Chain A
């Protein structure tokens, strides 16, 4: 019997494809029962909304009157909407700057913390603390610190004998000011992620490098960084998704101003939906943003997966 199975190429452990009414035993019924809430959840709160918003994006709708189907007009409007395109570009700029700075700083910190240090846990906690605080609280703190008349930033500028400069009221400095906060909040999180990855690297590799007389910088480029590749990929995708959603900071600190200089995509969508009540158009914008995020994530995945994968 066993020999015949091998001969026919059928594998006994292969899960048989079953139709609903052919369920083999009560164990599977239990399995189906306990997945039910998850299925309902995903249909109602994830898949449903996306389909709903797809439909809405092809219509003119202000929540009060009935949805009116208008074809692709919203999408055409979006690609010619200079304010939206500018906000999308601003989001991307924000994302690229914040992701690059955050990941660079957090890798350096992780390498520093990978050594044995006294008070290591205290240091780690200090760097990590901003990550657990809500964006609203962080934004309000920084908003007062940026205040030109009594804020900390002006004070420090004074100490360094620089003329204090307004930040959030300046069209050139408001977005960089918000970027700084984004970096400040996120480095602790990624530091911990990288630290975990570093501690999984085989110490023998470093010993070999020392014997070969490699400098620390060389060791970092040739051993550490390639081994961090999978973690780095994860960190880039995750932080890109996160930074493209920047909202609370803008809402609390500038409301998109001055002169639209901090108007990012999510805030623009929010404004279109809830101030202008233009639900159809806002839905189209949200879908475009979602597509941009997915394309970026796929691009990163492709870009990073090409070379040899070092695994533990």
Chain B
């Protein structure tokens, strides 16, 4: 009996969690006149697949998609490269000022980009980056949490391993590339997914730093679509399905790494 109640509770909960997403998919398949039918028809009478074609012609969705892929991938690769380098430096080398740098990283970890959007905009403006891919990419190219995470992971790599490689004549770069990186692959995968999703979904910063349509990422493009053609719900929802599908697929395939990434950030924080 207790078992049954437990399943009842978590199943109801799961349905509530999924209902809005079912709503999105359902609406995305409806012809315009069926969007407003009442009571709600979850499976449309006439499924209209053309919504997914039309939305690409009503708005430059393909362009937004390309921008999102380009920005998210670049930011992800940049983070992997710079965060592992910084992590290695902070974990295994000694030089003056190292402690100050580490405190700096920890201190800014508490301040998310969203919170400093205004000063960041001013700096990006001074650098002449407004309305360029640079504005979307550079301010996010290193994540303090990533630096911290990578440092923690590299700390666990035995010093002897590195020293013996040095005796064998390996250069510092070889040690980083051929020894450190392979050892910390799992946390790197977690970081990669984390950063990718985070960049893919970002809204406030991309909206502030770009005003030309050619640079819109998916969230900014969808928000603009909603403002301009707010009543074409079926197309709007089709656009949203298109922009959400990659992330959801990524999540379903990489669930383990995904959750590992979260718990890394949670437990080490």
The interface of chain A, by Cβ under 8 A from chain B, is 15, 17-20, 23, 26-28, 30-32, 34-35, 37-39, 41-42, 44-50, 52-53, 56, 63, 109, 112-113, 115, 117, 121, 123-130, 132-138, 140-142, 144-145, 149-150, 152, 155, 158, 184, 188-189, 192-193, 196-197, 200, 231, 234-235, 238, 241-242, 245, 247-248, 251-252, 266, 269-270, 273-274, 279, 282-283, 286, 289-290, 293-294, 297
Contact = CB atoms under 8 A, between A and B. Distances in A.
23 contacts: A18-B94, A28-B95, A30-B93, A32-B95, A35-B98, A38-B86, A38-B101, A38-B105, A38-B147, A41-B141, A109-B13, A127-B13, A134-B244, A135-B203, A136-B222, A137-B240, A141-B21, A144-B237, A184-B20, A192-B263, A196-B267, A197-B267, A279-B118
B157 interface: no
Interface size classification for chain B: 35 or more
B96 A56 contact: no
B244 A133 contact: yes
B112 A152 contact: no
A53 B119 contact: yes
Nearest to A252: B223
A139 B209 CA distance: 21
Contact of B17 (A26, A129, A289): A129
B158 to A, nearest CB: 16
Given A37-B82, A46-B116, A248-B203, A231 B267 contact: yes
B228 interface: no
Nearest to B85: A34
A282 B105 CA distance: 26
Interface string B235-269: 01100100110011011100100110011001101
A121 B118 CA distance: 41
A182 to B, nearest CB: 13
Contacts of A266: 114, 204
A127 B116 CA distance: 31
Interface string B2-22: 000011011101101111110
B108 A23 contact: no
Contacts of B152: none
A42 B35 contact: no
B153 interface: no
Nearest to A249: B203
Contact of A34 (B7, B86, B96, B267): B86
B93 A134 contact: no
Contact of B85 (A27, A35, A188, A290): A35
Contact of B92 (A31, A140, A145, A200): A31
B122 to A, nearest CB: 5
B110 A241 contact: yes
B22 to A, nearest CB: 10
Contact of A140 (B93, B95, B226): B226
A104 B115 CA distance: 26
A200 B267 CA distance: 11
B251 A132 contact: yes
B94 A15 contact: yes
Contacts of B35: 150
Contact of B201 (A135, A242, A286): A135
B123 interface: yes
A27 B115 contact: no
B17 A37 contact: no
Contact of B95 (A18, A113, A125, A242): A18
Contact of B123 (A18, A45, A132): A45
B50 interface: no
A129 B21 contact: yes
Contacts of B115: 241, 245, 286, 289-290, 293
A200 to B, nearest CB: 8
Given A45-B120, A132-B247, A193-B263, A34 B18 contact: no
A31 B89 contact: yes
A41 B200 contact: no
B23 A126 contact: no
Interface in B1-60: 6-7, 9-11, 13-14, 16-21, 23-24, 27, 35-40
Given A137-B240, A141-B23, A121 B116 contact: no
Contacts of B85: 34-35, 37-38
A31 B123 CA distance: 28
Given A45-B138, A196-B266, A142 B96 contact: no
Nearest to B163: A27
A34 B86 CA distance: 6
Contacts of A145: 20, 23
A137 B222 contact: yes
A295 B110 CA distance: 12
Contact of B204 (A50, A125, A247, A283): A247
Contact of B112 (A112, A234, A241): A241
Contact of A50 (B116, B197, B233, B240): B116
Contact of A193 (B16, B255, B262): B262
